[in-house]
Chain A
Amino acid sequence: MATVNIKINGQQIQARAGVTLLEAAKEAGIDIPTLCHHPALANIGACRVCLVEVAKQRTLQPACTFPISEGMEVETESPKAVEARKFVLEMLFSERNHYCMYCEMSGDCELQALAYRYGLDHWTYPSPHAKMTVDGTRKYFIMDHNRCILCRRCIRACSDLVANHTLGVRFRGAKTMISADMDVPFGDSTCVSCGTCLQVCPTGALVDRKSAYMGREVHVERTASACTFCAVGCGTSIVTRAGHVLRVEGDWDAPNQGVLCVAGRFEPLYDRRERITSPMLRKGNGLVPVSWDEALGAIAAKAKGNSGKKAAAYVTGKALNDTLGEFLRVFQGKMQATVGTVEPTLADLDLPVGGSLADVDAADCILVAGGDPLATHRVLGYRVKRALDKGARLLVVTDKPNGMLPFAHRKFGMAQLDEAVKVCQGSAAPVVIYGGDLDKASARKLAALAGKARFISLFPASNGYRARELGLTNGFSANGVKVLYLLLGDEELPDEAVKEARRAPFLVVHAAYKSAATDVADVVLPAPLWYEQEGSFTALDGRKVVVKPAVAAPEGVLAEAAVLARLAESL
């Protein structure tokens, strides 16, 4: 490793060649204040807060973009640098309307923290008090231009991380405004509400509606976990206070690199379905709450004499690994029942699996067939778009509308799949992304790329990879079944499936929420929610993803695997 010798604040440092002054300082444990800089984003030197004094340079230089060189001597807190920094901060406060006293971010705001650090007890320059728009046209978060410091972190997140390119600036100088598309309200724009901009905003310009005023960083707890709403397996940080989930943020160090999508970040927190908090047993016409012993006893009683083909059990492919293991032990092992998953595992396509987000990053040609990552595995879709920004080609094979189509270099009908495969064969590092709309014949054609391309399967359920490994497939039937056990987690069954399930004389539904299926069940068992579970699942790239409980489950709600283990004992 090539190194460079520099001196920061009198301290001799050997730094890696080619890094910026900011990086070199950080590695040496020297803190240079920053504002527009964000570790996950490219540096643009916009805010000038990181200005430092570099010997032999005519002016102060922004540490975040200034490359180091041999013999460089730097002062980060010299009177000149500090004065410049304070000036920058004062200008930032005066430019727009910062009312810390009622700002949601007060206490966690990076601008405010810097002002405190540099002892700004007042601001020299009066604000023009120009009225700015507060854009509340999006469901989950609000943009308040009054508090925007134009650091452009949001723009960089939108473009460089999510490749959505909704955000930009209009006008220049003092009139500069962050705007969406051709300056339309954010809610009418191409914004996909992934919330990555919200996560990187240093001030209260972007405000999460759900967690507003629910507590500052000092009040909350964070749990490193993973999103269970699709098979991408994004790392998350679940923010809670007193047993309430306030918001979900993306884990910067996980393969998703901080990015989440609307289905993982926001939608789960707005779930208004009614929770099941106690086992219930049908008595007369209604379901009545009973103890676990009574509920499990009732199931065991029915299970006796109904093993083998007379029993069937289906589990959601969202279930964690432990749950799937116990599920098979009880129903396949002990009862020899017919077992399967509620959702397809795409096992029947007999295609390779295991391609990762990193493969997408490295791809020069991406073939999407029979699925739409932007609809079902959004973070993967964003990653594909990012690869396109870097020059990869996109081939989309579909007979249906598909969110990837506007970005495709070439579009094919399913009948022209061969042609797409041929194009792909000519590339150096192809990636194939396939989904459940593929039929077996098409899958065989796609298999021609097996030796060459990395394959990513769009499993319809988050733990589809593991379910497939365990040999589980879907194919839901109540034919001749006397006892049917459905482990749904927070999933719901379509009406037709509920009808089919109800054909079984004895129906057990193990689920988190009330639904059509629990309404008709003979026994209902409560299941924990995504933020109450502990365990792991296997993401679409075969990676084991750990899920941690951020909040304890309500009293009386037990882990799925524990319930299945107790059931096994009573059989």
Chain B
Amino acid sequence: MQKITIEPVTRIEGHAKVTIHLNDQGKVERAFFHVNEWRGFEKFSEGRPFFEMTQITPRICGICPVSHHLASAKACDRVAGVEPPRTAKLLRELMHMGQFIQSHSMHFFELAGPDLLLGFDADPAIRNVVGIVQANPELALKAVRLRGFGQDIIKRLGGKRVHPVFAVPGGVNAPLSVKDRDAILSQLDEMTEVIKTGIAIGKQWYEANLDLVNQFAVFSSGYMGLVDEEGGLQLYDGKVRLVDKDGRKLEEFDAQDYLTYIGEHVEDWSYLKFPFYRKMGWPNGTYRVGPLGRLNAATKINTPMANEEFKNWKSINGGKPVEGTLWFHYARLIEDLYTIERVREILEDPDILSTDIVANSTGFVGQGVGCVEAPRGTLFHHYQTDANGMLTKVNLIVATGHNNWAMSKSVEMVAKAFVEGTKLTEGMLNRVEAAIRAHDPCLSCSTHAVGAMPIVIEMYGPDGALVHCLTRD
């Protein structure tokens, strides 16, 4: 049997590697998506004061540090037995929206965009954000500004673009100033237009590439995401909704009870664990999260423009969950629109400038789960402490982890559909990477456990000898 290795997988966040095993005829037999690093946050956090986790865990991921910051703060709220005031929750959500804008926009324009705008088979030397800058400088600058706008919201609240210091157990450490509110508001119209441009580009691409989309890793699964009481999409807080492959509600549970519903499976070929729905067991209980998972789980979106797009979304598969992996990009753009609409709602809230931003503990609990929707999916932080608030156990289930099975599945499907061992091209392999990229995996997050993720492509002959190694240098 022959084996192809893609290492590192590029334009994803973190270190991954794909191995593709070929039979004697050069046909793909199996493909694996390996997460190749392990960093050990769960272990080395033990013994630290619980409240430090709001600063330790963002270092799991520099792209979605705010998600970790907030999931951690929510877990800390529980540990400390304190309910943040309304303004604090709104400000946390505002920061979270900033992060979605930067992360989703960066993913569309800078990471996945090159495939969509320049083509899967474009020269790898220019198939990147620089290529976009050269091909369409105006669009590229808009994209840069949009990402910067999202980061700027984070900085205005937490002092830094990456790894801000803002949320604390019971709330946040600073109110929003009138100056900052107005500065953010003044850019909203322009930024909304950039997102709409992105949506238009996306739609154009889908129209032109519908055949590819329909044969590119289309498969059924469960879907998970946070929703409000009416099933509306939520990103900062809500109930965890899990639906089956037909969109039927399986569960809608409080994140505190996540262990009742979610189990984690381990494979010896990846440092990233495989979460699944316990009641259906492994591997039947696998599901997808992130933009595709969330939009398939939600009933509606609570902001007008995004909800219009959401209606289109629901029509893609006749009201049933959307299954094609490449539809992740559309879902991400719809969420991008939602988050910018939500920024306006939050900024126009009459309570937003209040200084009632942090509450006092009413009684120490010593245990708690914090859950938010990170850009890449549902994120759980679970802390247990001793009576003094020193951590005794930490369990993290990260967004990308939930999609681990789906990424492996996509890799295998795309490899089988597009990779021809006898006449291997770089573009074939790029499609395999694109299958991973569509999920926008955050492998830094995934490897919090102790580790990171690169891709190489190597082909091994039936005797196990390396027959072909495809790298791009």
Contacts and interface: CB of A to CB of B under 8 A. Distances in A.
A101 B55 contact: yes
A267 to B, nearest CB: 13
B49 A272 contact: no
Given A214-B168, A272-B360, A209 B59 contact: no
Contact of B51 (A187, A209, A215): A209
Contacts of A471: none
B174 A242 contact: yes
A407 interface: no
Interface in A184-243: 187, 207, 209, 212-215, 219, 241-243
Given A101-B59, A243-B355, A137 B388 contact: yes
B299 interface: no
A134 B385 CA distance: 13
A137 B389 CA distance: 9
A213 B55 contact: yes
Given A102-B56, A214-B173, A272-B362, A136 B49 contact: yes
Interface in A508-532: none
B237 interface: no
Nearest to B166: A213
A102 B55 contact: yes
B388 A102 contact: no
Q: Please classify how large the interface on chain A is, using the bins under 10, 10 to 19, 20 to 34, 35 or more.
A: 20 to 34
Interface in B255-277: none
Interface in A223-272: 241-244, 270, 272
Interface string A264-284: 000000101000000000000
Contact of B47 (A102, A134, A244): A134
Given A101-B163, A102-B56, A213 B362 contact: no
Secondary structure at chain A's binding surface: helix, strand, loop or mixed? Answer: loop
A242 B55 contact: no
Contacts of B173: 213-215, 219, 241
A137 B55 CA distance: 22
Contacts of B163: 101
B59 A102 contact: yes
Interface string B32-74: 0000000000000001110110111001000000000000000
A561 interface: no
B420 to A, nearest CB: 47
Contacts of A213: 51, 54-55, 165, 168, 173
Interface string B165-195: 1001000011100000000000000000000
A270 B361 CA distance: 9
A533 to B, nearest CB: 19
B298 interface: no
A526 to B, nearest CB: 17
B358 A187 contact: no
Interface in A109-158: 134, 136-137, 142
Contacts of A214: 168, 173, 358
Contacts of B56: 102
A187 B174 CA distance: 32
A104 B48 CA distance: 12
Contacts of A209: 49, 51, 389
Contacts of A101: 55, 59, 163
A242 B168 CA distance: 15
A209 B388 CA distance: 11
Contacts of B388: 136-137, 187
Contacts of B55: 101-102, 213
8 contacts: A101-B59, A134-B49, A136-B49, A136-B388, A142-B49, A212-B52, A213-B54, A213-B168
